[in-house]
């Protein structure tokens, strides 16, 4: 796994959120983030807060995030969530990967991706965006849901992911990661 050096800086939570923003950008900014790391642009404030609390409380596993937010106060978590929500949605990749869009769209419809994550796949109220997220991150997340390594408050995702073959997970992840600009 390739992670920027700032991501490996170790626990910095005692500094509080304002002092760690640069570390967030180093790991999660479009253009700089490792493919296994989620892009933060377009994430709803409520969803961001839920995830940050889950990392802090040990309810969501992670190699780096629990140590970063482990000592954050509730105010730090709220500030971080508000900052995440202020970021622009993730851009269309510069070199989109070709994918069977018709088959992928049919899968997304069959498994209701376009219901919970909205027809434009930008998510919303407590639901993360899928559009133009890293394919490797989406694939790893779906595989984690399928294997019940990641459940949290999204038990519905386990049901959805378990109904998908690994090949279909790869197809969906690649499709969602490479959607063209929708005019927004």
Measured CA to CA, the distance from residue 34 to residue 135 in angstroms comes to: 11
The pLDDT value given to residue 119: 94
What domain count does the chain have? 2
The pLDDT value given to residue 1: 35
CA–CA distance from 78 to each of 32, 72, 82, 104 (Å)?
24, 10, 6, 36
Residue 122 belongs to some domain of the structure: yes
Residue 91 belongs to some domain of the structure: no
Query: Is the predicted pLDDT of residue 130 greater than 70, yes or no?
Result: yes
DSSP secondary structure string for all residues of 83-121: HHHTSPPPPPPSSPPP--HHHHHHHHHHTTHHHHT-TTS
111 is in an annotated binding site: no
pLDDT in tens, 152-162: 666 789 999 99
Grade residue 76 by pLDDT with cuts at 50, 70 and 90: very high
Q: Where are the alpha helices (DSSP H) in the chain?
A: 21-28, 45-57, 65-69, 74-85, 101-110, 113-116, 135-146, 155-162, 166-177
CATH number at residue 110: 1.10.760.10
Give the domain range for residue 129. 101-177
Residue 184 belongs to some domain of the structure: no
134 is in an annotated binding site: no
Query: Is the predicted pLDDT of residue 3 greater than 50, yes or no?
Result: no
pLDDT in tens, 31-58: 767 888 899 988 999 999 999 999 999 9
Q: What is the mean pLDDT of the chain?
A: 86
157 is in an annotated binding site: yes
28 is in an annotated binding site: yes
The pLDDT value given to residue 21: 86
The pLDDT value given to residue 6: 41
Grade residue 164 by pLDDT with cuts at 50, 70 and 90: very high
Q: What is the dihedral of CA 94, 7, 149, 66, to 10 degrees?
A: -140
27 is in an annotated binding site: yes
């Amino acid at each position: 796994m390739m992670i920027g050096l700032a991501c490996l800086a170790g626990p910095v939570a005692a500094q509080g959120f304002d002092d760690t923003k640069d570390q967030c950008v180093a790991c999660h900014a479009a253009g700089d983030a490792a493919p296994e790391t989620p892009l933060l642009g377009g994430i709803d404030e409520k969803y961001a807060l839920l995830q940050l609390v889950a990392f802090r409380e040990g309810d969501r596993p992670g190699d780096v995030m629990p140590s970063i937010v482990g000592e954050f106060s509730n105010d730090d978590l709220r500030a971080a969530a508000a900052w995440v929500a202020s970021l622009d949605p993730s851009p269309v990749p510069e070199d989109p990967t070709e994918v069977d869009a018709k088959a992928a769209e049919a899968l997304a419809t069959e498994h209701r991706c376009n219901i919970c994550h909205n027809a434009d796949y930008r998510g919303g109220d407590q639901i993360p965006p899928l559009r133009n997220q890293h394919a490797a991150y989406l694939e790893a997340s779906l595989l984690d849901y399928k294997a019940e390594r990641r459940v949290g408050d999204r038990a519905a995702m386990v049901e959805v992911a378990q109904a998908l073959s690994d090949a279909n997970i790869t197809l969906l992840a690649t499709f969602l990661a490479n959607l063209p600009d929708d005019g927004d």
